[in-house]
Chains A and B, each alone.
Chain A
């Protein structure tokens, strides 16, 4: 069994990263900054799901991670197409 300092420390690092990304999401000067912050938040979400699967020993969280990765990728590409089409108007 993993030591609790590792688990709490890693989850604290992920939480701090999520707070910094949230700050960039709120403040970001352009739309591209906000989309980059959203993509990073979805990546952090996958990491937290994987760490939680290790902690609880529930392997079915990996399917949740797969779905989150797919949704994050498609959402980022859709936002990128929206940014590019909005430039041509």
Chain B
């Protein structure tokens, strides 16, 4: 029973990672590519870590895998936010059919 769950989690991990890579190639804009790569990629890695948590019996390894999953769940949105803010300040061109851009052209930094 547990082996089927591990296999299902591994397949979910691989499929989500491939979907993230397809989005990274197919989307027209750096912000949309970031949206695909950070969210779906994080879900893929976290589900493979859940499979590793089910596979090993040692509680120390399970806690370590959960900590890696927690770290990835925290840092993936941080990386997406920091990179999107930096590329917005650096005037990276948006996609042609962008509907709304509320940025006023200033970076609001105190330096």
Q: Do A and B bind each other?
A: yes
- A residues near B (Cβ < 8 Å) are 1-3, 6-7, 9-14, 16-21, 23-24, 30, 32-33, 35-37, 39-40, 43-44, 46-47, 50-51, 53-54, 59, 62-63, 65-66, 69, 73, 76-77, 79-81, 83-84, 86-87
Flag B77-111 by CB within 8 Å of A: 1 or 0 each. Answer: 01100110111011111000000000000010000
In the assembled complex, which residues on chain A have CB atoms less than 8 Å from the CB atom of B87? Answer: 30, 32, 83
In the assembled complex, which residues on chain B have CB atoms less than 8 Å from the CB atom of A43? Answer: 37, 41-42, 44-45, 72, 76
Grouping DSSP codes into helix (H, G, I), strand (E, B) and loop, the B interface class, with mixed when no group exceeds half, is helix
Interface pairs A-B: 3 shortest CB-CB:
A13-B14, A17-B21, A87-B90
Q: Is the CB of B10 within 8 A of A54?
A: yes
